[in-house]
Structures are given as C-alpha cells and as structure tokens.
A = this chain, B = another copy of it.
Amino acid sequence: MDNITNVTVKPLDRGGKFVTPIRVDYEQDGKAKFWEAVRVSKSVSCVIFNVSRRKFVCVRQFRPAVYVNGADGIAWSEPDVANIGPEISAKSGVTWEFCGGICDKPGLSLEQICVEEVLEETGYAVKAESLVKIGTSRCHVGVAGEAQTVYYVEVTDDMRRGPGGGIDEEMIDVVELGVDEAKSMLGDDTVVAPTDFFWGLSWFFLNKNQA
C-alpha cells in the first residue's frame, strides 16, 4: 500500500473531475469582498469499536493530498510543479482514519451512506439505527467548509461479512487499534490523521471510557 513511485504534481486546469475551484464574490456590510474555495460534497465518518475484542476498527490509506501538502522538503521546480522521489517517504502520506466517505448517492440518508461505507471499507454489517451521532463539523472552513457528520458504532466479531478494503482500487488497509494505544495517539504529533480521528477518539474517552 505504501509502495508509491513516480509522483508528479502539476497545476490542475479548470474542469478537474473531482476538485472544482470556485470564486465567491459578495458584499459584507456593503463592502465588496471575494473568497476562493472549492466545491465539495457533504461526508460522513464512523468511529467503529469492536466490543468483542475492545479494539477500534480503523482504516489506513495513502492520501496524495496529505503527502504533497504535509511534507517539508519537496523540491518544487516551479510553483506547483514537482517530481517527488523516495526522498519523501510514502509513509508521510499514510493516514490513520475512521472509515467514511462523501455523500454522493442521491436519495440515501447520511446514516444509510455511513452503513454502506462501513461495510465497503471494513467488512462489518451494521444497522443504521445502531449509529450514535457524535456530531457534525465543518471541514477546513477556509477552503471547503462542507458538513462532515461523525458517528459511533459498536460491532462484534460475528458482524463481519468480509475483509473490507474499499471498492475498485481504493487500497485501504483495515487495522485494529487498542484502547490504550489509541489514548497514547491523542496529542502525538507523529500520528498522521485527520481532525475527526482525534475528535472521535476524544468523544469515546469522554463518553464511553472515562479515564
């Protein structure tokens, strides 16, 4: 999964398939202003806790955006153009996450989308009514700002229907994480993880497993 080679970065022309930059013009208290952003869909994520073995069920994957924006020391040949070799370890782009995904299936509720993502990515069959809502936050309010709703669900070993790993070529590793290990990851700068990972863990320790 972290065998990453031949990385190139270049500017994306208008009309990217997934990322659409937009310009917002507006007046605030009568004063003309503008802001640049991207259009993005709502998303869900889900803290999964296997009560049979008292382990979190996490996913790990290589995230190109994390790799490119997170690494110091990339040699940019011109602004936004780079060829990146093994001098930047692929591990710097491999995240710890709870499973989730964007809401791109019209007609499905957030809970239904979450149920599908949990099954696809981790192999656990959960019911929508067993999801506990942790909350909804806005991701990256400077550039994106869409709503991400975060859930918590408890599973048992016998709810697992398959290995997970995502669909098509997602290359997602399913990894279990012990409670003490998870606690030690809170505040550890070497852990590469999105903000909702730390929020979700914090919610667990506040609500399910008081230290």
Contacts and interface: CB of A to CB of B under 8 A. Distances in A.
The residue in A31, A40, A140, A198 that gathers the most chain B C-beta atoms within 10 A of its C-beta is A140
A146 to B, nearest CB: 4
Given A36-B16, A195-B196, A24 B144 contact: no
A19 B1 contact: no
Contacts of A3: 28-30
**Which interface class (under 10, 10 to 19, 20 to 34, 35 or more) fits A?**
35 or more
Contact of A26 (B18, B37, B64, B149): B64
Question: Oligomeric state, in number of copies?
Answer: 2
A143 interface: yes
Given A69-B144, A139-B139, A7 B23 contact: no
A92 to B, nearest CB: 10
A142 to B, nearest CB: 7
Interface string A1-45: 101111111111110111111111111111101011111100100
Given A19-B37, A65-B145, A69-B146, 8 more contacts: A12-B22, A35-B64, A43-B142, A63-B138, A65-B143, A102-B142, A144-B144, A199-B199
Interface of A: 1, 3-14, 16-31, 33, 35-40, 43, 62-70, 79-80, 93, 95, 97, 102, 133-149, 169, 171, 186-189, 192-199, 202-203, 205-206, 210-211
21 contacts: A9-B22, A9-B24, A11-B20, A12-B23, A16-B23, A19-B36, A19-B143, A29-B171, A33-B169, A39-B80, A40-B142, A65-B144, A70-B147, A95-B141, A102-B142, A133-B187, A138-B192, A139-B139, A149-B189, A205-B206, A206-B211
